[in-house]
Amino acid sequence: MKTFIMIHGSWHSAWNWHKVCPILKEKGHRVIAIDLPGMGRDKTPINEVKMKSTVENICKLIDSIDEKVILVGHSKNGIMISQVAEYRSHKIEKLVYIAAYLIPNGKTQREYSIQDTAGVLKPFVTAHPETQSSTLQEEIFREGLYHDCDEDIIQLANVLLSHEPIESGMTVLQLTDKNYGSVPRYYIECTEDRAVTPFIQRKMYTEMPCKKVYSMATSHSPFFSQPTELCDILFEIAGE
């Protein structure tokens, strides 16, 4: 039995994992899907959300668990699981990046995002300088995030997607080989992804080699479109 902690991506929340959690639990695993600060049911004012405090919150959760955890991150918040691993390497058994930003020490998520020129989301991101956040326009949800997902997912997204804090994307990661580098990394690439495109995914896991790279022919949201297949990969990673 393993303990998985699931970290959602931009604009989303713990509902990302509502199809995945039951499958993992049926096999006897413990699964904790959290709302990051300012997201989902967490009521932290979005203008107060910083990467440092978000990382600290995840570290506190890990500290509350006796056994080592498998930390899973999606999309932008690959940066969160990386920075957490620097501070809690002794408590993390494995890191799993799902179409996620895998950024080296001294770099920012934004530096890699701007290289991803084929991604379709950027023209539909609305900045809110007064709250240091952004939102994603509904008209891009299907094409950019869920083109292979059921209609009910898009309807849920219309209701549930919220503001995303922007400060974390400009925060320089501070990682060392001794700490972060000691935790085995696994990457799950989504080969039909239009948000974090295959080009930038491959660039990242080539620059930051992982123990194993898995490929899924899905959109940016395999936890919605192919939850069983995604869990099969997570089971394999857990068993390594």
> Tens digit of pLDDT for each residue in 58-78?
999 999 999 999 999 999 999
Strands (E) located in 58-197: 69-74, 92-98, 125-128, 133-136, 164-165, 185-190
Match 């303990």 to its residue by tokens.
3
Q: How far is C-alpha 178 from the chain's CA centre?
A: 23
Mutual angle of helices 78-87 and 51-63, in 10-degree steps: 60
pLDDT for the residue numbered 203:
98
Instruction: Give the span between the Cα atoms of 49 and 240, in whole angstroms.
Output: 35
pLDDT for the residue numbered 240:
84
Instruction: Give the span between the Cα atoms of 196 and 122, in whole angstroms.
Output: 11
pLDDT for the residue numbered 62:
98
CA distances from 183 to 26, 32, 50 (A): 27, 20, 24
> Tens digit of pLDDT for each residue in 30-66?
999 999 999 999 999 999 999 999 999 999 999 999 9
pLDDT for the residue numbered 64:
98
DSSP string, 38-64: TSTT----GGG--HHHHHHHHHHHHHT
Q: Which residues of the chain have pLDDT under 50?
A: none
pLDDT for the residue numbered 211:
98
Q: Are 219 and 147 in contact (CB under 8 A)?
A: yes
Match 């925060």 to its residue by tokens.
171
194 token code pair: 């239009």
pLDDT for the residue numbered 169:
98
Q: How far is C-alpha 126 from the chain's CA centre?
A: 21
Domains of the chain in start order, with CATH, are 3-239 (3.40.50.1820)
Is 0.95 topped by the overall pTM?
Answer: yes
* Closest to 83 measured CA to CA, from 8, 12, 171: 171
* Closest to 85 measured CA to CA, from 13, 212, 176: 176
What percent of the chain lies above the pLDDT cut of 70?
100
What percent of the chain lies above the pLDDT cut of 90?
100
pLDDT for the residue numbered 206:
98
